[in-house]
Amino acid sequence: MSEQKKRESAANAVFPCILNPVAVFNKKDPIVVGVDVVEGSLRIGTPIAAVKKNPITGEMETISLGRVYDPAPPPPISC
């Protein structure tokens, strides 16, 4: 039962981290960006967002950019 709960909640888990972009390899679908992880842990499924300061109000705005995913297919299972 606990293993099932872990798998269900894994999609909703967020692991905060701070990233610095290094290089942009693809600017269109899919966007591929090389990053340095400054703090935290970057994992598959982590939501990516940019924080921007509004020059008029001075408030911080969060812009959602998507999630981290692994485009590589899983390795074949040999019997």
Domains of the chain, first to last: 13-67 (2.40.30.10)
Tell me the pLDDT tens digit for each residue of 35-58: 899 999 888 888 888 889 989 998
Q: What is the pLDDT of residue 59?
A: 93
SS3 content of the chain, % helix, strand, coil (to 5): 10, 45, 45
The type of residue at 3 is E
* Confidence label for 74 from pLDDT (cuts 50, 70 and 90): low
**Per-residue pLDDT, 79:** 66
- Asked if the model's pLDDT at residue 24 lies above 80, the reply is yes
Nearest to 45 by CA among 5, 24, 75, 17: 17
